[in-house]
Amino acid sequence: MNKEWFNEWFDSPYYHILYKNHDDDDARRVVDALLETLHLPPHARIMDLACGKGRHARYLAEKGFEVTGLDISPASILFARQFEQDGLTFFQHDMRLPFRINYYDAVMNMFTSFGYFEHDSDHLKTLKNIAKGLKMNGLFLLDYFNSIWVKAHMEEASVKTVEGIEFHMSRRIENGHVYKTVAFEAEGKSYKFQERVRLFELEDFRLLLDKVGMTITQTFGDYGLTPFDASGSKRLILVAQKTRIA
């Protein structure tokens, strides 16, 4: 497999510096809100897909769930494994590959950790694997940006300074994807990374999920779980249920 944009960027310490505002307290607030709507049974099995360094997975385990964290970044998983315990495990894994079959009560994918691939066949393959991993009637929670809002409010250029590093970011939309270039200097070196995310909309997800045997049951527009509004919501948070074997 060719080197893809997220392999190097997600393993970079500068990625975690740039996005350090996503802290543990934030993770706890978001998880608490989402669990209220999922109504999972005690000790439910949950997959945190694209778990990063395991913020959400660790908190879910504290609440008594059996949690598996998966991420493609070896560096993130190496960090997360220091927190492993009974009911909390982490694995380096590519979401395009199956993991466990008919095992999980819920799969969670947080903070726009989907849509990274060049070809939609890989996105569909990922959703098939999620469906296979779920028990019948299991739940998939996807936290994505609202592509309609992104297209209407995209900031073409911005600068963000974190820990003394000045990150210069530029954005463009091309062929159904939003591209973000991140350029900066650190420790005497110049760096440039590019992110690419597919601009999936709610109807796109509805069609894709139907293909893999899942049905959308709820949609929200933010972490306060207000109703989703296509033109006004910044997030698209959806809950889908596995209703059949596709």
| Shared-domain flag, residues 173 and 134 | no
| Shared-domain flag, residues 41 and 109 | yes
| Shared-domain flag, residues 160 and 202 | no
Residue 158 domain boundaries: 150-195
pLDDT band at 110 (very low <50, low <70, confident <90, very high): very high
Q: What is the mean pLDDT of the chain?
A: 94
Q: How many helices (H) and strands (E) does the chain have?
A: 8, 11
| Shared-domain flag, residues 140 and 172 | no
| Shared-domain flag, residues 178 and 123 | no
| Shared-domain flag, residues 48 and 134 | yes
What are the pLDDT digits (tens) for 35-54?
998 999 999 999 999 999 99
Q: What is the pLDDT of residue 81?
A: 98
| Shared-domain flag, residues 79 and 21 | yes
Query: How many domains does the chain fold into?
Result: 2
Provide the CATH number for the domain around residue 61.
Answer: 3.40.50.150
Q: What is the pLDDT of residue 19?
A: 87
| Shared-domain flag, residues 191 and 207 | no
| Shared-domain flag, residues 172 and 83 | no
2 pLDDT above the threshold of 90? no
The torsion angle over the Cα atoms of residues 118, 121, 122 and 128, rounded to 10 degrees, is 160
Q: What is the pLDDT of residue 1?
A: 38
29 pLDDT above the threshold of 90? no
Q: What is the pLDDT of residue 72?
A: 95
Q: What is the pTM of this model?
A: 0.94
How far apart, in whole angstroms, are the C-alpha atoms of residue 109 and residue 140?
8
Instruction: Give the tokens for residue 197.
Output: 């995310």
| Shared-domain flag, residues 39 and 16 | yes
Q: How far apart are the first and last CA of the chain?
A: 27
What are the pLDDT digits (tens) for 66-90?
999 999 999 999 999 999 999 999 9
Q: What is the pLDDT of residue 24?
A: 65
| Shared-domain flag, residues 68 and 110 | yes
DSSP assignment string, 166-223: EEEEEEEEETTEEEEEEEEEETTEEEEEEEEEE---HHHHHHHHHHTTEEEEEEESST
- Read off the pLDDT of each residue in 130-150 and give the average, rounded to a whole number: 98
What are the pLDDT digits (tens) for 182-214?
999 999 999 999 999 999 999 999 999 999 999
